[in-house]
Amino acid sequence: MSDTLPYRSDEKICVIVPTIREYECMEAYIENARAHGFDTDRLFVLLVTEDFCDTDEMEAMLDSLDVDGAVYDGSRREEWYDDQDISEYAHVVPAASHAETSFGLLYMWANPRFEYGIFIDDDTLPHDDEDFFGQHMRNLGFEGEIERVRSDTNWVNVLYQNAEEHGLYPRGYPYSAMNETVRTDTTHLSQGSVVASQGLWTNVPDLDAVRILMDGDLQGQAQTSTTADDFNGDFVAARNNYLTVCSMNLAFRREVIPAFYQLPMDDNDWEVGRFDDIWSGVFLKRACDLLGKRIYNGAPLCAHNKAPRSTFDDLHNEVAGLELNEHLWEVIDDAGEDADSYAAVFDAMADRLASDSFEQYRNGAFFTHVGEYMHDWLDCLDAIKRAPVPADD
């Protein structure tokens, strides 16, 4: 296992896995790639972990899988920040938080050969009958007709296809946008317009704690599960319609990184957590709508095998931000109208959040905090030293 990229003419994919427990899930993903003929030389597996984890075992696993990659615990991340001369921005990646996926984005930004990234959560597994990596790459290169979904509340439930049967809304979907009227038609996507591919999930649905409690589950999971039969085709959300973006199974182009910061959760004065990927998805969708880009949703599915834990613990981590989640999209919905880049859109949304007090909301000052960190994110990207790209042999 080497931290040095084997530079070649193929575009490299950085597979970013935040993990403290089930890092062995990567064995199944690499096996899936080889079973479907996907070139694993394109993959670089970045395990983002903590100092209390056994990094030697993680490195040994990558060696045994014969894939390139690296393991970054907290101490090694600090060394990387020092090497990049960006230690003053280390705070943009919160400690001991799922939002440490943002470190993977910084790592990608410093390595120009990473044209694509993929987020994988360690409590997931690929479906054997689906070409996980290949399907994500095909989605990002998609050109043609696809279903387009919109609603009268300007929000799309990514589980809409069988919602009349299971009644589920995913984590981060505003409560005020429920009971929507859904309309579908088709649209044509041009080559290069898809910048993110969100794979959905079977088994344990990605719900917030309130919805899990309503489903009668005290173990943090949900009594209602999803199967492959609940998904009957791929789709995009219409312009000016938002959707939840979950980072457990998500591929993206490097170009979106300036507008795809995974927000600073958990380690903050307001104890707001669990909305890092959700809010980053709101910002990315706004940027996509302004720049003529798309987020593709559907395949490849993954099995979400969430470990049992107290639903009330998740509720504690979410409740401080529930009201803010209802209003974030409204706050930034008209920001950046004249922007012509991801960074410019993100900067305009950051301005909107950082410049107001939001005293009307419980914990409204957290919006201001997020806006300030968004500005720091853009400054950090500007400060990163780009690794030289060697010529191909």
The per-residue pLDDT for 393 is 42
The per-residue pLDDT for 11 is 80
**For the whole prediction, is pTM greater than 0.75?**
yes
Work out the end-to-end distance of the chain between its first and last CA atoms, rounded to an integer number of angstroms. 22
DSSP reduced 3-state for 81: helix
Contacts of 253 (CB under 8 A, 6+ apart): 115, 116, 140, 195, 196
DSSP conformational letter for 180: P
**CB neighbour burial string for 153-168, b if at least 16 within 10 angstroms, e if fewer:** bbbbbbbbbeeeebeb
**CB neighbour burial string for 383-393, b if at least 16 within 10 angstroms, e if fewer:** ebeeeeeeeee
Q: How far is residue 158's CA from residue 168's CA, in Å, rounded to a whole number?
A: 10
Task: Give which of 343, 296, 297 is closest to 193, Cα–Cα.
Answer: 296
Q: How far is residue 172's CA from residue 6's CA, in Å, rounded to a whole number?
A: 39
Q: Is 233 exposed, middle or buried (0-12, 13-18, 19+ CB in 10 A)?
A: exposed
* Token pair in block for residue 96: 């001991």
Distances (CA, A) of 37 to 13, 34, 253, 358: 16, 5, 22, 52
Per-residue pLDDT of the chain in tens (393 residues, 90 and over written 9): 445 443 344 689 999 999 998 999 999 999 999 999 999 999 999 999 999 999 999 999 999 999 999 999 999 999 999 999 999 999 999 988 899 999 999 999 999 999 999 999 999 999 999 999 999 999 999 999 999 999 999 999 999 999 999 999 999 999 999 999 999 999 999 999 999 999 999 999 999 999 999 998 999 999 999 999 999 999 999 999 999 999 999 999 999 999 999 999 988 999 999 999 999 999 999 999 999 999 999 999 999 999 999 999 999 989 999 999 999 999 999 999 999 999 999 999 999 999 888 999 999 999 999 999 999 999 999 999 877 755 544
The per-residue pLDDT for 254 is 98
Which residues on neighbouring strands pair with residue 126, listed in sequence order?
A: 302
The per-residue pLDDT for 352 is 97
Cα 178 to chain centroid, rounded = 23
The per-residue pLDDT for 385 is 81
Asked if 43 and 33 touch (Cβ cutoff 8 Å), the reply is yes
Distances (CA, A) of 122 to 22, 32, 64, 125, 218: 5, 15, 18, 8, 22
Domain ranges of the chain: 12-383
CA 189-347-371 angle, 5° bins: 115
The per-residue pLDDT for 8 is 40
Q: Which pairs count as long-range contacts for 371-376, CB under 8 Å and 24+ apart, including other chains? A: 373/91, 373/92, 373/261, 373/263, 373/264, 374/261, 374/346, 374/347, 374/349, 374/350, 375/347, 375/350, 376/89, 376/91, 376/92
